[in-house]
Structure 1
Amino acid sequence: MGCAGSSQTKGDGTVKKIRKPKPWKHPQPITKSELMQMRDEFWDTAPHYGGRKEIWDALHAAADADLTLAQAIVDSAGVIIQNADLTVCYDERGAKYELPKYVLSEPTNLIRDG
């Protein structure tokens, strides 16, 4: 499997489980379409932040999935979870991946379109 530093386990040997991000508030109320545009822009530019494209693709799929599927995606991609809400992760080579909360959940002040 590799050395202990490359596993997803915590010191007690348990795998760090993904959880939903804590509720958060955008600086000003935004619509669902504005949120989707922000997400699209992030994912379009994410590979330019460094790291491997296949890890960014896995994180994108995990961000859009339910918690059980997201866990399976990051486990199979070898993603090391620093923060259980996926805001900070690493790949097996040590590259850091930071995800803003707006790609992981909706703000508390979201305005529904229409």
Structure 2
Amino acid sequence: MGCAGSHDKADETAKKIRKPMPWKHSEPITRIELIRMRDEFWDTAPHYGGRKEIWDALRAAAEADITLAQAIVESAGVIVQNPDLTVCYDERGAKYELPKYVLSEPANLIRDS
């Protein structure tokens, strides 16, 4: 039996994730521009700190459907602070912040003709 204020660490990592809320880029962008932004973020993400294997797991989760993303973050030991994966931590306490553009498409995405 624990204190009323205590909680199991597994509860934090098991937080259910969801898609980010709808968002808009500052100006309409094409899918190619969005992909370029995403690639640039993922190429530079490990330089923000944290462990490369956690960044890799977060990228895999960001690119997967919700069910698979949930399994990826749980198996990597990622502690999800925001259910949309915009703020996460690893088991050592390193913070990982993901911009919404790597997690979903903007409402003002220019569709290919």
Instruction: Give your verdict on TM over 0.5.
Output: yes
Aligned position for 1:41: 40
Q: Per the alignment, do residues 72 and 28 of structure 1 end up closer, same or farther by CA in structure 2, a change over 3 Å counting?
A: same
C-alpha offsets along residues 68-112 of structure 1, whole Å, 9 cap, x if unaligned?
000000000000000000000000000000000000000000001
Q: Per the alignment, do residues 5 and 60 of structure 1 end up closer, same or farther by CA in structure 2, a change over 3 Å counting?
A: farther
Equivalent residues of 2:14, 2:74 under 8 A apart:
no
Which is higher, the Rg of structure 1 or of structure 2? Answer: 2
Which runs of 5 or more residues in structure 1 are unaligned? none
Identical-residue share of aligned pairs (%)? 79
Q: Distance in 2 between matches of 1:64 and 1:8?
A: 24
What displacement does 1:8 show? Answer: 4.2
Alignment length (residue pairs): 108
Aligned position for 2:79: 80
What displacement does 1:27 show? Answer: 0.3
SS of 1:9's equivalent in the other structure is helix
* 2:2 pairs with 1:27: no
Structural RMSD (CA): 1.8
Which runs of 5 or more residues in structure 2 are unaligned? 1-5
Q: Distance in 2 between matches of 1:88 and 1:6?
A: 20
Equivalent residues of 1:29, 1:109 under 8 A apart:
yes
Aligned position for 1:68: 67
SS of 2:88's equivalent in the other structure is strand
Q: Distance in 2 between matches of 1:80 and 1:16?
A: 8
What displacement does 1:113 show? Answer: 2.8
Aligned position for 1:7: 9
What displacement does 1:15 show? Answer: 2.9
Aligned position for 1:108: 107
Q: Distance in 2 between matches of 1:49 and 1:64?
A: 20
Q: Distance in 2 between matches of 1:89 and 1:5?
A: 18
Moved over 6 A (4+): none
